[in-house]
Structure 1
């Protein structure tokens, strides 16, 4: 792996140069960024996948939905459709993307839309009879054609952007200096018992700019598994033979959690946002019981019997300073409105 990285490093320098120049063009107004007259919050990362963007978007939607008419806007990664679509929850994951469908099913009152052109998507949302009061852009840290009012940058505890290289030698979409654009940084997937001393060490390692807030969060797993059938206690799986099916960038935290719960299972891993083939579906239909992620559940629920398919919900859990994070979000939205 190290040898491969060395071979690819010259290409990383080229890619870094291109992305750095692009960012400078946006910073200096040579490339135009479009702003909008309502609060727009962008959630994203510097690396390719696996930092917990979906739980963060859901956290924000839950925080804001009682006071504001909230919309989430995604590009709908790997969807079969094109252009702007406003979800009603009856679409397939293949048509609109797994994460947008997940958002709509969990927040039926929210406006959930997909559009590969974010500026166009915002304009379409604002044309609605009851337009949103707040828009959350999913995976939009590098999407600079839209200038969001508030940027939340996520980086995983086990894969910090400061320890990585730019593509293709590493996994960064742009240089780690791009973190300076963030209004807040959240280190995700931290150990639950992360001490204040360790938090301070991580802040120093990230080389944050002066006054840039850094928060720490972990994954909170549900005690129950859910599906279209009755929910079951997770502990119930200690008595059952089951298969864990994942199509996510980094399944290791989930594997570790299930093993700590004393569960034994076979793990069937697929790439992130995997579109299941007919033969793969047929193989999965033979399994006695399947546990999967919420994202994969929306892809599989059309094909696997309801009594055999369950997912384990996860949520963002802040390790201290939760109130400060929420106050930063609520204060921004209130000021922008």
Structure 2
């Protein structure tokens, strides 16, 4: 069911047919109201400086655009940073120090999958999850952070920061806000970015398969699984789940048995939730690098 829903949503946002186009225009007034609320919130903002460099990596649209891999690349390029994020779908509340100087201090249930992905893929990782980003920034500062990186922090209009916005590829067909379109912030808000990042121009990613086997099934719970389409040709099947899905061991065993598979091909975000199951795993290892222009921008901000 989710697989069919995802395919429909992807078509609706990227290449709608005539009926979906009509639906988008019918919903446009609701999207316009939503857009006006966001614009009012932005205009009424009062920016607060936390006296420490703060960088936000975000996007304007729904779905995955590669924020986490890009943020990991920045944190690995420039040492001394703390990453702050909400910890979506974590089974905890409040501020939690997930990792400090590379030592992991919480499990994935308390941290959430994205926070644990940072903890395991950033050198000497410093990771904080908190619903209140300002409180987390102050905690990072107290712990000696040189700078703070906000994962998906563009909408925190009250925080003074360097705003990096990722422009997705491909872009949605219509520049409408939800529910009419894929934009959660008005398309015009690109003007408020300090830097617009675009994969293939400002940063580059390469992937390879670790522990590749003959009969792999691609299993993933990321926001935009179409980003993994390049790997489908080496898999015998694929199973897509909702973003941040909490996998159960038995359902993964059933997938292995269903396809007579030799391993499950997963992303690093998926791995942090299923490595405890001791199942045959193949891993998509992703490395993102920054252009010289991008590096210089961040360097001037944090030094």
Q: TM-score normalised by the shorter chain: which range applies?
A: 0.7 to 0.9
**CA distance in structure 2 between the aligned counterparts of 1:109 and 1:123, rounded to whole angstroms:** 20
* 1:125 aligns to 2:158 (yes or no): no
* 1:157 aligns to 2:169 (yes or no): yes
**CA distance in structure 1 between the aligned counterparts of 2:240 and 2:26, rounded to whole angstroms:** 28
Partner of 1:113: 128
**CA distance in structure 2 between the aligned counterparts of 1:163 and 1:52, rounded to whole angstroms:** 21
- C-alpha spacing 1:60/1:291, structure 2 compared with 1 (3 Å): same
* CA drift at 1:34: 1.9
Q: Is the 8 A contact 2:218 2:237 kept in 1?
A: yes
Partner of 1:220: 206
* CA drift at 1:253: 2.9
Deviations 1:26-63 (A, max 9, x none): 1xxxxx33211111111000011211001110111111
Query: Which of 50, 54, 68 is the matching residue for 2:68?
Result: 54
**CA distance in structure 2 between the aligned counterparts of 1:106 and 1:174, rounded to whole angstroms:** 29
**CA distance in structure 2 between the aligned counterparts of 1:74 and 1:38, rounded to whole angstroms:** 17
* 1:323 aligns to 2:292 (yes or no): yes
**CA distance in structure 2 between the aligned counterparts of 1:102 and 1:45, rounded to whole angstroms:** 19
* CA drift at 1:328: 1.0
What's the TM-score once normalised by structure 2's chain length?
0.85
Partner of 1:143: 156
Q: Is the 8 A contact 1:297 1:310 kept in 2?
A: no
- C-alpha spacing 1:311/1:164, structure 2 compared with 1 (3 Å): farther
* 1:290 aligns to 2:261 (yes or no): no
**CA distance in structure 1 between the aligned counterparts of 2:285 and 2:174, rounded to whole angstroms:** 29
Q: Is the 8 A contact 1:155 1:187 kept in 2?
A: yes
Partner of 1:71: 82
**CA distance in structure 2 between the aligned counterparts of 1:216 and 1:109, rounded to whole angstroms:** 25
- Equivalent position SS for 1:71: strand
* CA drift at 1:279: 5.2
* CA drift at 1:140: 0.5
* 1:38 aligns to 2:52 (yes or no): yes
| Residues 1-337 of structure 1 mapped to structure 2, 5 A cutoff | 1-26=20-45, 32-65=46-79, 69-88=80-99, 89=104, 91-107=106-122, 109-128=124-143, 131-148=144-161, 150-159=162-171, 163-188=174-199, 190=200, 215-222=201-208, 224-225=209-210, 232=211, 234=212, 237=213, 240-259=214-233, 263-277=234-248, 280-284=251-255, 286=257, 288-305=262-279, 308-317=280-289, 322-334=291-303
Which consecutive residues of structure 1, in runs of 5 or more, have no partner in the other structure?
27-31, 191-214, 226-231
**CA distance in structure 2 between the aligned counterparts of 1:216 and 1:123, rounded to whole angstroms:** 30
- Equivalent position SS for 2:182: coil
**CA distance in structure 2 between the aligned counterparts of 1:7 and 1:283, rounded to whole angstroms:** 42
- Equivalent position SS for 2:167: strand
Superposition misfits of 4+ residues, deviation over 6 angstroms: none
* CA drift at 1:317: 4.1
Q: Is the 8 A contact 1:243 1:266 kept in 2?
A: yes
**CA distance in structure 1 between the aligned counterparts of 2:204 and 2:58, rounded to whole angstroms:** 17
- Equivalent position SS for 2:114: helix
**CA distance in structure 2 between the aligned counterparts of 1:33 and 1:171, rounded to whole angstroms:** 27
**How many positions carry a matched residue from both structures?**
277
